[in-house]
Amino acid sequence: MAIPPMPETQLPADNPPLTLAKPELLAPAGNFEKLEIAIHYGADAVYLAGKDFSLRNYSGNFTDEQLLQAVSLAHANHVKVYVACNIYSRNDESDGIGHFLETIGRVKADAVIVSDPGIVRLAQQIIPRVAIHLSTQANTTNYNSALFWQSAGVKRVNLARELSLSEVRQICRHANMETEIFVHGAMCISYSGRCLLSTFLTHRDSNRGLCSHPCRWRYALVEELRPDEFYPITEDPRGTYVFNSKDLCMIQHLPELIQTGVTSLKIEGRMKGIHYLATVVKAYRDAIDTYVADPGNFTSNPRWLQDISQVYHREYSTGFYFGEPEAMAPNYADHHQGQIHRFIGKILACRDHNHHLVEIRNKICRTDSVAVLSPGIPIKNSEILGLYDADGQPVDQAQPNTQAILKLAHRFLKHDIICKTG
């Protein structure tokens, strides 16, 4: 099915393009495997978290020892690491947060991501040499706020998602500090994540990393005297998605993003799988590099949107960036799009004669054709020339949660992702 083009909105004419530095590509790393994938596909920096004190407590995250290993691996590959400590804390957590900040300093993370002013204060006291990045949870919507946080010791601000590109540009021009914006992934229907729906319905506080995502649930209208009769609020017979935001996708608007002067382009998704992460990081890496290499002749490659539309997602939009009501409307389309079942597995090792040891995540058959995602080059299709179990015995199929050997038409790399075609 053909993918409709994203709107080709341009920045206002009174804001001419600037000569700007290449922006950082910042990717999520929910666990160690995702960290390896983000590095492999070209992220300049990753954001991750410990076992406590972040807004994604269910993403796996890192023990103190794993944090040390993560920073070591990232730095060995010239990738920066930003550690989230962005909950709004309570009194009885002060000591625990202090100890965690000490760990962040000990592992030599490049920055700590904070939203609570109290934790900003603690970070300045405990780890003064570690940069402080302000979370989008702090709702920075203007340059005076950014300048306030700069005076409080913050090096970078992740701007509120409700801003237009014009507003982002103004903040970048007036605030002499690093700025960061989200360019891809899920968006909260509430104001920069300040949502109490999860707390009321499931007693899980979204501002403390426990969100149950009730905005993604299906809802219907019930009249008080007819408790067993459910009425759809829209034409969709399954109910309504009035809370359910579309996913953000700015892959076709790299020039407009970069010309704001923003420091870092951030991908959402610490809880997403490695297929999503590999595909999205690869696409944005290619797009950024292509633009920076020749800004004057840049055109958006349709392949980038085609590729990222193959992973599990809600309907894509440009969010608030262009001020278009349709882009900010709830997602009334099919709940999810993409074809997650095509993900086959990850290459663990490459052997002689194009034999690849693969960790199988979904069933693969000898007669299937596959596509392989490698960094820096277009996705390559290949027939399966041979399928073997981990001991090298020929098999007709390989099942999930096993290892298999695939002989392919080309030689690929460790950590490359394999998907089924057709």
Residues sharing a CB contact under 8 Å with residue 291, sequence separation 6 or more, in sequence order:
254, 255, 258, 298
Contact 61, 30 (CB under 8 A): yes
Q: Is the pLDDT of residue 124 over 70?
A: yes
Q: Is the pLDDT of residue 193 over 70?
A: no
Specify the residue for token string 């993370």.
109
CATH class of the domain whose range is 340-420: mainly beta
The pLDDT of residue 231 is: 64
Rounded mean pLDDT, 357-384: 95
Domain with CATH 3.20.20.70 in the chain: 24-187+245-328
3-state secondary structure labels for all residues of the chain: CCCCCCCCCCCCCCCCCCCCCCCEEEEECCCHHHHHHHHHCCCCEEEEEECCCCCCCCCCCECHHHHHHHHHHHHHCCCEEEEECCCCCCHHHHHHHHHHHHHHHHCCCCEEEECCHHHHHHHHHHCCCCEEEECHHHCCCCHHHHHHHHHCCCCEEECCCCCCHHHHHHHHHHCCCEEEEEEEECCCCCHHHCCCHHHHHHCCCHHHCCCCCHHHCCECEEECCEEEEEECCCCCCCCECCCCECEEECHHHHHHHHCCCCCEEEECCCCCCHHHHHHHHHHHHHHHHHHHHCHHHCCCCHHHHHHHCCCCECCEECCCCCCCHHHHCECCCCCCECCHHHEEEEEEEECHHHEEEEEECCCEECCCEEEEECCCCCCEEEEEEEEEECCCCECCEECCCEEEEEEECCCCCCCCEEEECC
Domain with CATH 2.40.30.10 in the chain: 340-420
More confident residue, 204 or 83: 83
- Across 257-280, b (16+ Cβ under 10 Å) vs e yields bbbbbbbbbbbbbbbbbbbbbbbb
99 CB-contact burial (10 Å; exposed 0-12 / middle 13-18 / buried 19+): exposed
Rounded mean pLDDT, 126-138: 96
The pTM score is 0.85
Q: Is the pLDDT of residue 114 over 60?
A: yes
Band of residue 37 on the pLDDT scale cut at 50, 70, 90: very high
Instruction: Tell me which CATH code domain 24-187+245-328 carries.
Output: 3.20.20.70
Band of residue 17 on the pLDDT scale cut at 50, 70, 90: very low
CA distances for 401 relative to 67, 124, 361, 366, 410, angstroms = 26, 45, 6, 17, 24
| Amino acid at position 277, single letter | L
Structure tokens at 405: 């050997």
Contact 133, 155 (CB under 8 A): yes
Structure tokens at 155: 């090096």
How far, in Å, CA of 301 to CA of 253, rounded?
11
Q: Which of 255, 261, 221 is nearest to 237 (CA)?
A: 221
| Amino acid at position 315, single letter | E
The pLDDT of residue 237 is: 45
The pLDDT of residue 142 is: 96
The pLDDT of residue 60 is: 73
